[in-house]
Amino acid sequence: MTLLEVRDLRVTYPGGAAAVRGVDLTLPAGRKLGIAGESGCGKSTLALALLRLLPAGTEVSGRVLLDGEDVLTMRWGRVRAVRWAGASIVFQGAMHSLNPVHRVGDQIAEPVLLHRRASRARARALAGELLERVGLSAARATAYPHQLSGGQRQRVMIAMALACAPRLIVADEPTTALDVMVQAQILRLIEESVTGHDLGLIMISHDLSVLARTCDRLAVMYAGRVVEEGPAGAVHERALHPYAAALSAAFPRVGDPASRFAPRGLPGDPPDPAALPAGCAFHPRCPVAREECATDDIALREAAGSRRAACVLVPGTAGGRPVPGTAGGRPVPGAGRGDRPPDGPPADPSGRTA
């Protein structure tokens, strides 16, 4: 059963920034999808679009089917109901958005009161249960946010997200502001919170290694598009797209102390979405770019192993090998230029998800 189906989603902000440019994603119920990409690639915009949380005046098109119902066209009353009971978001930096003058137990109970029509006593009791589910004692319900550590506040945010028993949790950079030890605990908590509860998870991070550890599949975004999508381990270890390969090499590998202390940088920045380069948006930074990459718009194409990548060098279903000129998924600058790849099947403009 498909929980979430995103079809040709496009988002343009009032100033003309095309932040999301035709994204297709599929999430079966109970599965975990990671969305990776550097800052500015459109990850948060995508998350906000899923629940129609974008600022007024933003142009949004495409379809966001949650349990078959299109969020983009449903009535506002229905959207409000869906926001808690259908899907809920743990926002980027959310742990700083707890109300400082209210006890955390009351803040968890609030959506329960509003959306589950529970009595105050029942909502309180549920808040206590939720605190225990996220590894805090029910007695912490009386604490104010400033009395909790960053990790504890993030646990409270997760409890709030779970409060109305949603079918989908979207976690946008849930661990970015936390130190490494706490990060690992919060990731485990998010994973446990969805596993076995038939909940879907979309986890967003700039750090592929974090996502690879938690998710079933990964989608890598660049300049508002998915440039690679496939099984988490394969994308992380043997990326097909040079951007995914660079991203994988740029961030610390979990459990690899050497890379933790010397992460390899990814030179340059993603393009300004209001002034995108022609051709493949990654070509100005791509170590294996060829002439046509500066002019041709490259669609996602299917590769072996239930993978998709938007790169002229991806051999399609013929091999699904890493991009020529990348070693173990890491780009080798200068290598691969001029190599002719085996001809893949025609690119699938619908960008179907396997």
Binding stretches for Mg ion (CB under 5 A):
43-44, 92
- 15 vs 100 by CB, closer to Mg ion: 15
175 binds ligand ADP (CB under 6 A): no
174 binds ligand ADP (CB under 6 A): no
Site for ligand ADP (CB under 6 A): how many residues? 14
Report d(CA 156, CA 61) in Å as an integer: 33
Please choose which of Mg ion, ligand ADP, none residue 312 contacts, taking the beta carbon within 5 to 8 angstroms, the exact cut-off set by kind: none
Task: Using CB under 6 A, pick the residue from 22, 230, 273, 279 that binds ligand ADP.
Answer: 273
Report d(CA 330, CA 238) in Å as an integer: 8
What's the closest the beta carbon of residue 206 comes to Mg ion, in angstroms?
Answer: 8
What's the closest the beta carbon of residue 9 comes to Mg ion, in angstroms?
Answer: 16
Please provide residue 166's backbone torsions phi and psi, each rounded to the nearest 5 degrees.
-70, 170
The residues, any chain, with a CB within 8 Å of residue 261's CB and separated by 6 or more, are: none
Query: Taking a C-beta distance cutoff of 8 angstroms, is the pair 171, 203 a contact?
Result: yes
The residues, any chain, with a CB within 8 Å of residue 260's CB and separated by 6 or more, are: 180, 252, 253
In the numeric block, the tokens 């690879």 are attached to 212
156 binds ligand ADP (CB under 6 A): no
What's the closest the beta carbon of residue 262 comes to Mg ion, in angstroms?
Answer: 25
What's the closest the beta carbon of residue 92 comes to Mg ion, in angstroms?
Answer: 5
Task: Using CB under 6 A, pick the residue from 13, 60, 237, 321 that binds ligand ADP.
Answer: 13
Closest CA to 323 of 354, 294, 288, 351: 288
Query: Taking a C-beta distance cutoff of 8 angstroms, is the pair 330, 241 a contact?
Result: no
Please choose which of Mg ion, ligand ADP, none residue 13 contacts, taking the beta carbon within 5 to 8 angstroms, the exact cut-off set by kind: ligand ADP
17 binds ligand ADP (CB under 6 A): yes
